[in-house]
Structure 1
Amino acid sequence: MTEIILTPRAAKRINEIMGAEPPGSTLRISVNGGGCSGFSYAFDIASDRAEQDVAIERDGATVIIDPVSLEYMAGSTIDFVNDLIGQSFKIENPQATASCGCGTSFSI
């Protein structure tokens, strides 16, 4: 498996979000079919964790990703950006051949 990197900015924002959630909650990132470019990223708060989920950790923050989504995200960097159009998590995926302007949809 190629490593997935969680940036310090993303870790800080995840910790802020999880501070308002019930204990044991974790950020889950998954890849779903659909979106304007073929696949889309989904960000959810999960209270459960499957045995086969992979945990990415940094600075006390944890992201869980299921094995199928992990294949589509291998080598990615998960960041948090604050720019003119707003704040959001941004995934830089080296496997993506195209993405849309919303930043949550991509194709391979």
Structure 2
Amino acid sequence: MAIHLTPVAFARVQRFVEQTPGALGLRFGVTRTGCSGWGHTTDLAREQREDDTVFEQDGVRIFVDAESLALVDGTEIDFGKQGLSETFLFRNPNATAECGCGESFTTDETHR
């Protein structure tokens, strides 16, 4: 089990955490959204929840709730340009399909 940040994403998250008082790391998970069903979510973690799995990469912690873990395990998080915006980009090995706009993804039936 692992979540991995590319060097560019690592630098971005590290800077966000260092500049935000009370931030513990990155909170990463999924939410129901879009036409395919699941969307990735990122935020700063301000607390560790009871059901969190915590991954650490060179001092940067990534918090994933138990419900999201099976859907995001093995994901590589990158950061880059998408159109005119800068955003986190996800290479999720659990995604079996994405909607046309790239906002949401599906997984196989065992993860629903």
TM-score per shorter chain, which class? 0.7 to 0.9
The one-letter code matched in structure 2 to 1:10 is A
**8 Å contact 2:2–2:55 — kept in the other structure?**
no
Superposed CA RMSD: 2.0
- Percent identical pairs in the alignment equals 37
TM-score by length of 2: 0.80
TM-score by length of 1: 0.82
SS of residue in 2 equivalent to 1:55: strand
Supply the distance in 2 between the matched residues of 1:54 and 1:103 (Cα, whole angstroms).
26
- Post-superposition Cα deviations, 1:84-105, rounded to whole Å, max 9, x if no partner, equal 4321111111111112355442
Supply the distance in 1 between the matched residues of 2:18 and 2:35 (Cα, whole angstroms).
32
Cα distance, 1:49 vs. partner? Answer: 0.6
Aligned residues: 107
**8 Å contact 1:39–1:106 — kept in the other structure?**
yes
Unpaired runs of at least 5, structure 1: none
The equivalent residue for 1:9 is 8
The equivalent residue for 1:65 is 64
The equivalent residue for 2:95 is 96
